[in-house]
Every structure is written in structure tokens, then in C-alpha cells.
Structure 1
């Protein structure tokens, strides 16, 4: 399924129309329809839409490898120490107590 079809499917399950989803994501009301015409959402936009629909990024992106993502190399240890970096797994934020456990594992169990 395409990104557009996935957004449409999950919006319908939530009794939402595509215009409502777009507006809640901070997009113009007809932006999601552009995804059906070949335009691809940014990683940030698709993540916002997934959050609104209560699904993961992967649920919307599926096998689509054409999502516009700007890759940026990040040192995970540095990111883990930064309180402003949002860490997530499967489209959901990692709870603080689990982040602390991950920090200890990365520091060698100290």
C-alpha cells in the first residue's frame, strides 16, 4: 500500500477524514491528497501524522522507500545525554526509566 492509502485506511478507522488529519498535523487541509499524486511527505510530517492517528511511522510508510528523509549521523551516547532529544521506538516515545536503563547499558553497566 502507498503512504496515501495507509493514511486513508487509519484515518477511516479513527472516524477522521483526511482534511482533519492534515489540519491536526499542521498541514494545509488538502496536503494529504497530494501524496496520492506522487508527492512524498517528509519524515517529520509522516511522524506527526502517525502520532495523530495513533500508529507507528512504519504503519504509514510500509515498504515505501521514497519518503523524504534527511539522514543525519548522531552519536547515540551523546543523544542519550541530551534531555532535548526525543528518543522513540516503533513510533512511540521511550519512557524515562527505560532511557536510563539504556544509558547504563551504553556506559557498560556503570
Structure 2
């Protein structure tokens, strides 16, 4: 499936036509139709992926898994109590590297000692 076809399919599933998607992504008229024959610029691809809530890898066909973009801003604090073990690699890192299984076990043990407060 091409970048254009994937984009059109996910837009439709979200109730958007291509013109609406172009508007929301800040693209010019008929920009998406050009994706049938030309690869998009990275800025355009990122803008469309952001609007659709998918990864650029999905739009490029590098994966068939639609991975939603994190809702939280990078600047917002992350609540480690809410990070599931299966989400760890996508949500938590230290120094730009993934948290090892051993370190994650230590973090979970520390969190267990300090139960989450219900404010």
C-alpha cells in the first residue's frame, strides 16, 4: 500500500476527507494527491502523522501497526505508576537509552514502597 493510500485510508477512518486533512496539517490544496507519484517532504509527513495520530513509520509502510502518538507533551511529567511494562520502551528512557530489565525491576520495587497518593 502506498503512502497516499495509507494516508487516505486512515483519514477516512477518522472521518476526514483529504481536503480537511490538508487544512489541519497546514498543507496546500491537492498536496496529498501528489503523494501518489512523489515522496512527501518530512515536514509534511510529520504534520499529517500528527493530525492523524499515527506514526510516520505507519504512513511510510515500515510497519502495519498503527502506533498512536503520545498525548502528553515531552515537557509534561510522566507518572511512572501509569507506565505498563509493555509500554516501557516507548515511554521511558535514561540518557537516551532504554531502561534495562534489571533497572526497571528496581524502579518498580521503589514505586511499590511508595504507593501512589490519591489527591
Query: What's the TM-score once normalised by structure 1's chain length?
Result: 0.59
Q: Per the alignment, do residues 96 and 5 of structure 1 end up closer, same or farther by CA in structure 2, a change over 3 Å counting?
A: same
Q: 2:61 corresponds to which residue?
A: 62
Query: Of residues 95, 103, 110 in structure 2, which corresponds to 1:103?
Result: 95
Mapped to 1, the partners of 2:25 and 2:97 lie a distance apart of: 35
Other-structure match for 1:79: none
Matched, 1:2 2:2: yes
What is aligned with 1:50?
49
Partner of 1:17: 17
Greater mean alpha carbon deviation, residues 17-26 or residues 97-106: 97-106
2-structure distance, mates of 1:104, 1:58: 20
Q: How many residues align?
A: 82
Q: Aligned partners of 2:19 and 2:96: how far apart in 1?
A: 44
Kindly report the root-mean-square deviation, in angstroms, between the aligned alpha carbons of the 2 structures: 3.2
TM-score, length basis structure 2: 0.55
Residues 58 and 91 (structure 1), Cα distance of their counterparts in 2 relative to 1, 3 Å cut: farther
Higher RCO (CA < 8 A, seq sep 6+): 1
* Structure 1: tracts of 5 or more residues without a match: 64-88
